[in-house]
Amino acid sequence: MAVVLPSCGAEGPDAAERGEFVCTVERTADPIARTLTSFGEIASTSWCLIAPPEVDGRVPGPTDERLVGVLAGADAQVVRDLLRERRGEFVVTAPDEIPAEISELLPEGAEWVESQAFNEEATGALYEGRFYFDKKSNRVLFDCSNPVRKDGPPPNVVVG
């Protein structure tokens, strides 16, 4: 079901020295609830923020941060309502390139669907993000690049 990025999931202090990305699973719901506001109150979540490693005090190459994880809303009805109300928008899909640390936490036998229209609405077109809904467990798998709260201040842009 999931293809694991070879650069994710590096273990130990030497990972950053080798220039590898590290996925350390967090379970604090507050940062996810503040950023991904489309799902209401978050009951539980497991996620990791994968940032380029700092080597010698500087960040090499691209500086995109990737937020990937799975969440369950406090009210499963929120997800059920989204799926029902927007039923024609969702297509069956298989998430790919999910870090092993998150893949192993996904519900067994999940039936993932995704809506491009919902992705654009949830991100406010401020960042790249994909949201996969499991019709069986009402869980949401999210995979975002440089996420910001869509109703918050605009992201900082540094030019030059």
In the block, which residue shows the tokens 């992201």?
Answer: 155
Backbone angles phi, psi at 119, to 5 degrees: -55, -45
Distance CA 21, CA 17 (A): 10
Predicted local confidence at residue 151, as pLDDT: 72
Average pLDDT over residues 45-67: 75
pLDDT at 156 over 80: no
Least confident span in 20-24, 98-102, 117-121, 154-158? 154-158
Nearest-angstrom CA–CA distance, 97 and 76:
26
Express each pLDDT in 1-28 by its tens digit. 332 333 333 344 454 444 457 899 999 9
| Residue 46 bridge partners (DSSP) | 70
Q: Which residues contact 156 (CB under 8 A, 6 or more apart)?
A: none
Checking if the pLDDT of 139 tops 80, the result is yes
Distances (CA, A) of 5 to 24, 47, 67: 14, 16, 14
Candidate ranges 59-63, 74-78, 96-100, 146-150; pick with highest mean pLDDT: 96-100
